[in-house]
Structure formats: C-alpha cells, structure tokens
Structure 1
Amino acid sequence: MKSFLTSITLLSFLFLSGQSPTNKILTEFLKHKALKNASISFYVYNLTDNNSIINHNGDLALIPASSLKLITTATALEILGENHRFTTTISYSGKIENSALNGNLFIKGGGDPALGSHRYRSYYGAFLSNWSTSIKALGIDSINGKIIADASIFDNEVPPTWIWQDLGNYFGAGANGLSIYENFYTLALSSKNEAQKTTISQINPHIPFLSIDNNVLGTSTNKDLSFIYGGPFQYNRYISGEIPKNRSDFKVKGSIPDPAYLCAYELDSVLKTSGIKVAYHPITKRLLGDSFIEDTTTEITSTQSPTLASLIQQTNLYSINLYAEHLLNHIGLHIKKEGSTTAGAEALINFWKTKGIDTDGMYLYDGSGLSRFNTITTKQLVSILSEMDKSQHKEVFYNSLAIAGKSGTLSSIAKGTAAEGKIYGKSGYMTNVRSYSGYITTNSNKKIAFAIIVNNYNCSAYEMKKMLEKIMVSLVNE
C-alpha cells in the first residue's frame, strides 16, 4: 500500500507539493476503510495551463450514474445546436364538408420532451385548448374519424438494461416520440396509523384504463420508500413500500404507460368539452399497427418546444432522466436516421471519437445514467469537458451546470465554504455509485476540469458525498 500511494503522489499530483491540502486529503481518502472494495477514478485537467494535474486510474471505466448527462447534453449541443426546437404538429386527412371533418385528426410527435411540463407551464400555456381553438377556426364541429397520436419518430422502447424496479416510477419513464406532462402522473396517498395500508385519494392526470394494486403502508419513515411496478404500455400497476404515517395527501409519481395515447385522450376530452363531436375513441399509430394508413394530411397548427439550450439547462440542473433520453434519441435520429437508444449511443461515441478522444471503455446503454451497464472513464469525461470549454456553445453548456452551494443538484455541496459558487458541475448517484464532474475556478484563478467516480464503497451515500465534497473544496483552495 505504501509503494502504491507513493507512486500516486509522484505520478498523479503533478502540480501539488507534498504538503498540499489536496495531496493530504486524497492520500487519506484512498486509505479509508470504506474504500477497501471500491473502484475509484479521478482525473483533473488544468484548462488554463493545458496540462493534466491529477490522474488516479483515469482510464478505469466505471458506472457514472447521472454524470453521464454531461456527455449526452454536450453531444446534443454540438450536433443539434443551442437554438434547435422540436415540433408537435396537428393535422387532418380527408375533407371538411358542412362543418364536419370527414377524415382523421393527427397529433404528430416531434420528440419534444417537455410538452405540457410543469416546468414550462407559462411557455406552453393551455396548449390543448389552443389546438382545439385552431381546429374550431376551420369551422369544424364534428369529426367523422379518429384522433390518432403518432409517436413514430422514436422507436419508443425503454433502454433494455433498466431494472424492473425503476420502470414504473417517474424517473424510469422512457423517451416517447409524443411525450406529455414529462410522462408521469401523480398519485396522492393517504396514510393513517403505523403499518396500516394506505388509500389512493387522487390520480392526476386521469389515466384511462389505469389500475393500481396498492400495498403501500404508512410507517414512521420520513420519506418516500414506495415503488411502483409496471412497464411501458402496461396499465396494471403494483405499488408497495412505505410512506410517512398520518399523511392525507402524500405525493408519489409514476410513469405514464402510453404517453402518446394520453395525449390523444386529452385532446379528445378538450374537443368534446368545446362542443366538437368525435365519432370514434382516440387511438395511436402503434395500436393501429398494420391497419394504419399514411394519408396525405393538411397542417392545422403546431407547437414548438423551448430551445435546446433551455432544455439542456433543465436536464443538467435538475438531472431529468426523461430529457436526457429524448436527447440521445434525437442524436441517433440526426446522425443515423433512427430515433433509438442504440442508434443514439453509437452516434454519440463515434462523434467524440472523431474529435480525437479515446473512447475505449465507453459503453453506453442510455443517455441519463440510469443503467448500470453504462461505463465511462473520468479521463473521457474531462476530455469532453475540455472540448466544451473551446466550443461555440461553451456559455450555454456552462450555464446549464449546477453551482456548488447555490443551485440544482449541487445546492448542498460546499455550502458555507470558500468553494461555494466556484464549482460548476453535475452529480451522479445510485446505490453504491457516487460521481461528480465539471469545472472549478481555483483561488489562484486557474480553471480546471475534473471528474471523480467511486463504485462499490462500504459506507452510506451521505458519508461518500461528504468525502468527495472535501476533495472538491480542497481543489478550490489550491
């Protein structure tokens, strides 16, 4: 162990003196008993002087968790551009005769991850009512056809390496070519005494056909320990676990089984409320299968997403899995003409390979970091951060990052220390995985890019967070 640590000091901490605070903290960190079974990778690059200053297992491929979002968002910015938007289109087939549409109404999804999102409530406004108004403006008071939701811009498959425990929950909602409300619904649970079964008081929005077998108990816990089970397009859901007892309106979020269908259902409801009669039940292109016929259509109206710059800011600041998965699908669509996780991952890796980055060991199975099959190295993360520091989209990317002690997923990091406000980055966490990556401005006014990943540690997630926080703060003080 002594010779190992000596070699680390000599070969890795290139700019740090033997008495450096970071040197001491890193040496203590590597010897910590909680890391005896752990895999650790740490890489730091001085962007001001253009040299590597710390390299501990920089080429070791590890599970990054949500730090992967930095790579996904950076790639989307470089390929699509910061002003890119995604468009949802309303159109019709057939003819309008005597105030009746003798044809079908189509909702064509453009892969907008934020349509109807609570984060963009003022941006989208009453988008469904706006669509209805545009339809009524054509003089239509009845539709002798179907409302058909078309999400086929993507393959609409969740990454196959996601675990069953995640799929039914909001963070396990996959990308959909026609997403709505961030593809989650909110379940309100009422709990009573210890170990008593809870009751469902509300589901918002209403999901037609949804059936939930509720086995959640109220206990002395102070947080949400419940999980919803169920996959895409499955309406029978099972929820179990625990929530705090004696609560009347405890919120739990689940993934919408079929977002495209819900969008068609929602528009159908709004049209009927406005007085427009619809002859058939809403449906999707997927459900129609081989019976779906590509008709010539006439556009009625369209809704554009916020800019990619705005979507990326939300993705990185609040670690939104759904947005990252959409971006990966769009990368695949743009480069390989296929909106899928596989195509996106292949296109992403190849993009950075053509930039001269060594992508050996980079294996990607999603865009958000939820899959435990993902592996990347800290050197790869830092290399991409270095490229983005030279990019025309540098400012947009930088502004999308959380700020230590102030915002997003880093709001509780380095609060009240000299490092507060000087670390811009992204965190990553899942069971036995902790990671941080981003940029640091040191007290000596140097700008550095860094990444650290730890897998399989033997302590609590909070304890690991505090240890890594200490390392990041020490880098600021250099």
Structure 2
Amino acid sequence: MVHHPRSKRCVSALGIGGAALSLLAGCAVQRYSPSAGPSTPQSSLSTPGTPSAVATSVSVQPSSPAPSPTVTFAAADPALAAKLAGLLTTAATPKPAPVPSVLSVVVADASGGAPLYAKGAEAALIPASTQKVLTTMAALSILGPQYRFSTTVSAAATPADGVLTGDLYLQGDGDPTTDEADYAALASAVSAAGIKRVTGSVIVDASAFDDVDYNDNWGSPFPNVSRPPVEALTVSPATVSRLGSVRHVGSVEVSYAGAATEGKPAVVTLKPASASAYVKIDNKSKTTKAGRNLISLARAPGSNTITVTGSLAVANPAVVWPMTVENPALYAGAVFKSALASAGVTVKGAVVRGTKPADATQLGAHQSAPLSQIVHDTLKESNNGYAEHLVKALGRTPTSPGSWASGTARVRDWLSSSGIPTDGIVLLDGSGFSGGNRVSARTLVGALQYARGQAWFNAFYDGLPVAGVDDVDVAGTLAKRLVGTPAAGNLRAKTGTLNVSRSLAGYVTGADGRPYAFAIIGNDKLSSVLAYEDAVAILLATWRS
C-alpha cells in the first residue's frame, strides 16, 4: 500500500483560562477522468536550488538542470524545429495525426527566450488539468509555500462547572485536507477546556468562501469526486487508489461487500463512520449465490441519501467507491459533533450555519500541512477538489469571501503582472474541469519559464509528476507513461485529460543538458495527441543542440 509523505499538522488547544496544550495530528485526491502581492516580472531567470531527490529504481532528475556557464546554447535550433514539425507527419505518431487547427504546441529553452518550435502557439484551447499549473503557481506566489489553512473551534461564553451555556463555533478558511481525525482533535480541545455539556448548537462558519458550492460551468450536479462541492469547511477522507492514498474533498467513502448469506442485502459501510449521522443509506441490494458485481450507487442532487441497488455474490470482497455529499460545511459540523460525543461532550442543539462572533474565545485550532505539500498532492494526482479550494482561497479578501469569479480573476491578474502572456485566456475554475476554460501553449510555457526564477519554484517542481517511475508518490499521473524510454525519470510535467482534450506541460532535459519547457494541448484525435506528446518527450530527452 502506497501512502503520501505527510507533513505534520497540529491542533493547539487553548483553554478559557489561557493554558495551552498541543495535540498532534497527521496531515495529508480522485484523479478525474472525463497576503503578499504577486511576484514582479524578472528580466533574467536564475536557476533555483535543487529540490529533494527521491530514490526509485529509475534515476530521477533532481532538479531542472541549468546549462554550465561554459556552455551557450543557440537562441534558435532549426534542426530541432524541423524534427518536431516532422513528428506530426511521420510514423512516430499514429494516424490520424493530431488536427493542427485544434493543436497548440510550444517548445522553448526553460531558462527563457523565444520558442524553439511553435505550432498554433497562441491558440487558446481547452487545457484540461494542465490549468492546475497556473492555479498552483499563483497560489505559491501569492500565499507562499509555508502558508497553512486554519480550522478553529470557539465559544462566545465562559463555561461553568463543565457547562457551556451557548453555542460552539466551528470556523474554516478553506482547508481542503481536513478529515475525521482533525475534527476529533478539535473535539479533544473542547474537552480539554473543561466543557462536558453544550446547551446550544454547533454553528458552522464557512463564510470565508461564498455560498455557491457547485460550479455551474461543470454541467448538472453529479456526486462524482471529480467535481465536488466547495465550501470553506469540508471533510476529505482518504481512499487508497492506484495513485496512492488519495483525499477526496467533500466526500464519503462507500464500501459494499457480499453478505455471508444468500438473499441478504449487501454489507454497506461508510468512511468516516461518523458520516452516518449526515449521510443516509437506502440499501435495496441483494446478495446472490453467484454472479458478477452489479451494484449501483446513486445520490440525487440536493439529497444526502445514497441508494444502493443491484446484486453481487455471497462473500464478494469489499468494493470502495467515494461519492460527494451536499453542503460540505454541515457535513463537517456533523462529523465534529460526533467527535464531541466521543470525547465526552454532549451538544443539545443541532448543526446549523452561522457566523462566529468577533469576541468569541478560541478553544482549539487545527492547521493544515504547508501549502507546498497541498500543491504537491494537487499536481501529482491531479486533485480537482484541492485546486478548487486553492482558487477560492486566492479570491478571498478581508472584506469579501472567496469565489470562483474572484479567484480566477486573481490568477489572471497574477499572470499579467508576472509578464506571462494571457491572450485568449478564459478561466472558469481552478482545476481545468470545465470545457469552457481556454489557455494556450504560449501561456503555459511562459509560466513554466517564469517559475524557474522564483523562490517557490522547488515546491512547484517537486509536485510535478515524473514520467516512467515505479514509485507512485513520485510519478503520480505519469507512472505508466514513457516507461523504459530516455524520458523516464527525466520528464516532469502536468497531465490533462478530458473527453474533449489531452494536454501535457512541463520540463525535460536534453542529452546535452539543455533544459526545455514545453506545452502541448490537443482538442481532437486524442489518442494521437497522446502518442504525439510521448514522441515529443523522447525527442527532447535525446536531443543535442
């Protein structure tokens, strides 16, 4: 079983009297299918320090190499440009070849300068998840790699004899990684403050983000973790997948298995277990003597009842399926209330929405892992939920909540102020899931070149998936790509996949040490685009200028 490296997060428990305690917690995506100001532009780009290397069976480039001071590469490379152009027509790319009118390609020296090769460079196409390159760069630049999200619990009254007369306030500022253990630690902080009974309610304050929790640009609401509801308070349980231990924002993990006796319903459980206080199961399934797994799970929009239908065989092994839930902030409050009960704290009232009073006393605080770790996970597994939380966090100001409109505007402003081309760009979300997004290869390569000169570059570069490496924590979405080729362990890039788009953007080092930045976006003949991406990667990895 592969798990992500986890940075430690802590919950500080502050008693009403001011005594401080420390409670440590661990810290931590489903890959989808279908306040400092921004950095100023730099006229010359330097090479940052070396990111940490990870030992695998494939040699991994530890950093984006810069040429030796004694080596000068030509500003143009006509031979390389000709070879790259030929990939569209030679046997290296299966037929039918990618359609030029919906293809945007740029290859450039990663250190800066004009493209060495371009095809439809300024064509703004559907970028799919390569859009996360822009979202994570903006987050690292504006918030900083050490930025941490915070979730707090507070009270407006002083407890007496173990009784808090009034409400508890659970407030979040957009942490996409909170799970049951984190809320349990906050509940322990309440208990440590001497509170055993609460006469009021659990008030959830998710006002750091707006009240639009589902992006209309994704189509009709659907309980798929690829397009989760986004609120400033959420629950993100981890699921073990082919990409390791993956956290799904605003979701519950549904597990079902065949019963021991024929005719009985399938055995259905939820993770976290405390989700049963908020999510209901309508189990209409049936266990049969033999047969295939024919179970279906469904949740209607606006409902938190999951209906289980179909059949599976006796003793069929457990199958795990994550599903999103409605109103993640209320879900977080329900999980927190359950944790309070486990910690010996009873709450008379319900979980309701509200706003924390300005004079409330903080009882405990949970901090996320540093932003650098969240960006790592966002890029490695192409975590849509994380990216959407980041873009809303970018849109938040002291006087207004974060929203998709304000967050994407902040990303565009950051690109412009950094000198990165933005012609034709349309950003409707943070993850690239919407088919209405538009980005060109020119914009992506401009961002990749710019990033190499920034103090936060290592955090971004370490998060990029690495091609052809057998350690999924290093390879991410590129684990099965370019295996056994010269690009394996060399190419670091963000993948993008939608049913209308295939894309790849990142870095690769030539055989002579020249660092390349490249971006490829194709919106037709997607299988051919994939082959073309691989052919470009192999050519660049073996090229000598």
Interval of TM-score (by shorter of Structure 1 and Structure 2):
0.7 to 0.9
Separation in 2, partners of 1:40, 1:176: 35
Q: 1:89-168 to 2 correspondence within 5 Å?
A: 89-116=152-179, 126-156=181-211, 157-164=213-220, 167-168=222-223
Q: Does 1:450 align with 2:518?
A: yes
Q: Indicate how the Cα distance of structure 1 residues 229 and 99 shifts in structure 2: closer, same or farther if over 3 A, else same.
A: closer
**Given the alignment, which residue of 161, 178, 183 partners 2:250?**
183
Separation in 1, partners of 2:515, 2:356: 57
Question: TM-score when scaled to structure 2?
Answer: 0.74
Separation in 2, partners of 1:55, 1:335: 42
Q: 2:52 — aligned with what?
A: none
Q: 1:421 — aligned with what?
A: 489
Separation in 2, partners of 1:343, 1:466: 37
Q: Indicate how the Cα distance of structure 1 residues 211 and 51 shifts in structure 2: closer, same or farther if over 3 A, else same.
A: same
Q: Deviations over 1:394-422 (max 9, x none)?
A: 11111111111121111112111111111
Q: Secondary structure at the match of 2:104?
A: strand
Separation in 1, partners of 2:97, 2:295: 25
Q: Does 1:323 align with 2:386?
A: yes
Which AA in structure 1 matches 2:254? L
Q: Indicate how the Cα distance of structure 1 residues 295 and 355 shifts in structure 2: closer, same or farther if over 3 A, else same.
A: closer
Q: Deviations over 1:77-100 (max 9, x none)?
A: 111111111111110012312221
Q: Does 1:17 align with 2:86?
A: no
Identity %: 26
Q: 1:299-338 to 2 correspondence within 5 Å?
A: 299-334=362-397, 337-338=400-401
Q: Indicate how the Cα distance of structure 1 residues 335 and 88 shifts in structure 2: closer, same or farther if over 3 A, else same.
A: closer
Q: Bigger shift: 361-370 or 463-472?
A: 463-472
Question: TM-score when scaled to structure 1?
Answer: 0.83
Separation in 2, partners of 1:107, 1:30: 55
Q: Is the 8 A contact 1:128 1:270 kept in 2?
A: yes
Separation in 2, partners of 1:464, 1:307: 35
Q: Indicate how the Cα distance of structure 1 residues 45 and 37 shifts in structure 2: closer, same or farther if over 3 A, else same.
A: closer
Q: Is the 8 A contact 1:17 1:23 kept in 2?
A: no
Separation in 1, partners of 2:226, 2:481: 23
More helix by share: 1
Separation in 2, partners of 1:258, 1:321: 18
Separation in 2, partners of 1:243, 1:158: 33
Q: 1:393: Cα distance to partner?
A: 1.0
Q: Bigger shift: 297-306 or 45-54?
A: 45-54
Q: Secondary structure at the match of 2:87?
A: helix
Q: 1:38-437 to 2 correspondence within 5 Å?
A: 39-48=102-111, 50-116=113-179, 126-156=181-211, 157-164=213-220, 167-181=222-236, 182-190=249-257, 199=266, 201-205=268-272, 206-211=275-280, 228=298, 230-231=300-301, 234-237=303-306, 247-285=316-354, 294=357, 296-334=359-397, 337-406=400-469, 407-437=475-505
Q: Is the 8 A contact 1:197 1:215 kept in 2?
A: no
Separation in 1, partners of 2:113, 2:160: 69
Q: 1:223: Cα distance to partner?
A: 11
Q: Is the 8 A contact 1:169 1:227 kept in 2?
A: no
Q: Deviations over 1:153-178 (max 9, x none)?
A: 1014222111236x311121132101
Q: 1:199: Cα distance to partner?
A: 4.4
Q: Secondary structure at the match of 2:335?
A: helix
Q: Bigger shift: 269-278 or 90-99?
A: 269-278
Q: Secondary structure at the match of 1:186?
A: strand
Q: 1:110: Cα distance to partner?
A: 1.5
Q: Is the 8 A contact 2:88 2:532 kept in 1?
A: no
Q: Which runs of 5+ in 2 are unaligned?
A: 1-74, 237-248, 470-474
Q: Deviations over 1:266-325 (max 9, x none)?
A: 22222223332211122223xxxxxx6846310011011111111101110111111100
Q: Which runs of 5+ in 1 are unaligned?
A: 1-12, 118-125, 286-291
Q: 1:212: Cα distance to partner?
A: 5.7
Separation in 2, partners of 1:378, 1:240: 45
Q: Secondary structure at the match of 1:415?
A: coil
Q: Bigger shift: 168-177 or 238-247?
A: 238-247
Q: 1:46: Cα distance to partner?
A: 1.0
Q: Indicate how the Cα distance of structure 1 residues 171 and 241 shifts in structure 2: closer, same or farther if over 3 A, else same.
A: farther
Higher relative CO (Cα under 8 Å, sequence separation at least 6) belongs to: 2
Q: Does 1:476 align with 2:545?
A: no
Separation in 2, partners of 1:303, 1:412: 37
Q: 2:531 — aligned with what?
A: 466
Separation in 2, partners of 1:394, 1:261: 37
Q: Is the 8 A contact 1:424 1:440 kept in 2?
A: yes
Separation in 2, partners of 1:238, 1:316: 33
Separation in 2, partners of 1:242, 1:38: 47
Which AA in structure 2 matches 1:59? E
Which AA in structure 1 matches 2:228? A
Q: Secondary structure at the match of 1:170?
A: coil
Q: Is the 8 A contact 2:285 2:310 kept in 1?
A: yes
Q: Bigger shift: 76-85 or 221-230?
A: 221-230
Separation in 1, partners of 2:293, 2:522: 26
Separation in 2, partners of 1:61, 1:151: 35
